[in-house]
Structure 1
């Protein structure tokens, strides 16, 4: 049986539905539904969409991940049913930040929607971020000072384009550039205009069709050479986070 057929059977049995009931809910006959679950044939796109909507789970997950390994209530379901992301919290109930290390940067484009890949990432927590889905990305180049090549940018996941605002900064995951961190200059019908903060670089456009994810900037994590190679990466990062938090508190005290 294929991964898809295993997932389909698991979801149906989880709802305590018979094959006949599921088929009726999909608007097809049981004789047509059964081969999908047994793995004999694959459903056409229109039926695949109906299955995705019926079980309230993304097509991407149905086709590429063994969902029997995960608690579905721990996954984030977006309104358009496009993708799901695992959400984890620490012992105090705070949402954890998944850290994409420099060495895993190139692999993020193929693993961003894979729960197994996301689970393999190091995780940290910041007490002042509030609700949301957070991820920390390594940045490179000199287009967005004062952040340097050894820094991480923490972003809050943006569910739809209507949430993004001009002059705010975002981490954009695109098929053309991979991970890029830029300021939003404007929204166009089929593209976004982005602005590097370094004035020696010019604004440019990124097509909406190339954008896989958008994360709104919420925090900066200072980085050093020792952190990249040290086996005690978690402790080193937490020390940097504490220093960052102290600076924030000092700034708030002066305001």
Structure 2
């Protein structure tokens, strides 16, 4: 069997994924994926790129190195296995902060390393955030205090696990979705995280499940993200709010 087919079987076994789950993630049929594992067919270039991004292993390693010789978490430490983060800039070279849509977390998990997907995201620019790559993610659920649904959490990209700091909060992208957690510890093969909501128990995330980590920088209310300040309705809203505040102040003075 080819090195590629052996590596595909090994990676899937190590991550305890079914052929159907991998096939769905890389947008092909289970039958087509089975042929790649059994060495009855070779994936076309676009499919090979998606396989590489899904397993977080470079194409060079997939095709030339017997991955069974390396611990799965150790692959990410190999210099030749670096997978570049797509970064979007505007016409002036300004680093754009992409906004991950609400209710499409799995869409991001499948497209986070696809330059075309990232380019299609809406974006904002915050002049006080420099010297790094930033992205905005939606807060959803009760495990993200103090953020409520409708808030965007802006995070700074963390290139290496070793750069994460215990006690800091992170937006963590795993194969299962997005979570916002406080880092409680870094183990040899996993990280331990906890929610600021004491209702939720701490737990560990295996390193092979970890796709990205973004350190918390600031948050944005979703309403302000979509406001068009040139729109008369928006101007009227703020004028009305100002009038309400003035009336309240007069009432307090009286």
- The TM-score with structure 1 as length reference comes to 0.57
Pair 1:159–1:95, CA change in 2 (3 A): same
Pair 1:197–1:183, CA change in 2 (3 A): same
Contact 1:124 1:234 in 2 (8 A): no
Partner deviation per Cα, 1:55-112 (whole Å, 9 max, x = no partner)? xxx539x99xxxxxxxxxxxxxx95543122323345543110110114322111111
2:239 corresponds in structure 1 to none
Q: CA deviation at 1:142?
A: 1.5
State how far apart, in whole Å, the 2-side matches of 1:200 and 1:82 are. 37
Q: CA deviation at 1:199?
A: 1.5
2:209 corresponds in structure 1 to 210
2:83 corresponds in structure 1 to 83
Pair 1:166–1:80, CA change in 2 (3 A): farther
How do 1:52-201 and structure 2 match up within 5 A? 58-59=58-59, 80-90=80-90, 93-176=93-176, 178-201=177-200
CA RMSD of aligned residues (A): 3.1
Helix, strand or coil for the counterpart of 1:118? helix
Contact 2:88 2:118 in 1 (8 A): no
Could you tell me which runs of 5 or more consecutive residues in structure 1 were left unpaired when the two chains were aligned: 1-40, 53-57, 64-77, 228-232, 240-255
State how far apart, in whole Å, the 1-side matches of 2:87 and 2:42 are. 30
Contact 2:86 2:113 in 1 (8 A): no
State how far apart, in whole Å, the 1-side matches of 2:147 and 2:203 are. 20
State how far apart, in whole Å, the 2-side matches of 1:209 and 1:111 are. 18
State how far apart, in whole Å, the 2-side matches of 1:83 and 1:235 are. 37
Helix, strand or coil for the counterpart of 2:106? coil
State how far apart, in whole Å, the 2-side matches of 1:80 and 1:125 are. 32
Helix, strand or coil for the counterpart of 1:166? coil
Helix, strand or coil for the counterpart of 2:116? helix
Contact 1:94 1:127 in 2 (8 A): no
Could you tell me which runs of 5 or more consecutive residues in structure 2 were left unpaired when the two chains were aligned: 1-40, 53-57, 64-77, 235-254
Partner deviation per Cα, 1:127-182 (whole Å, 9 max, x = no partner)? 11111111111121112211011111111111111100000001111113x01110
State how far apart, in whole Å, the 1-side matches of 2:80 and 2:183 are. 24
Partner deviation per Cα, 1:17-71 (whole Å, 9 max, x = no partner)? xxxxxxxxxxxxxxxxxxxxxxxx969xxxx9xxx9xxxxx539x99xxxxxxxx
Aligned length: 164
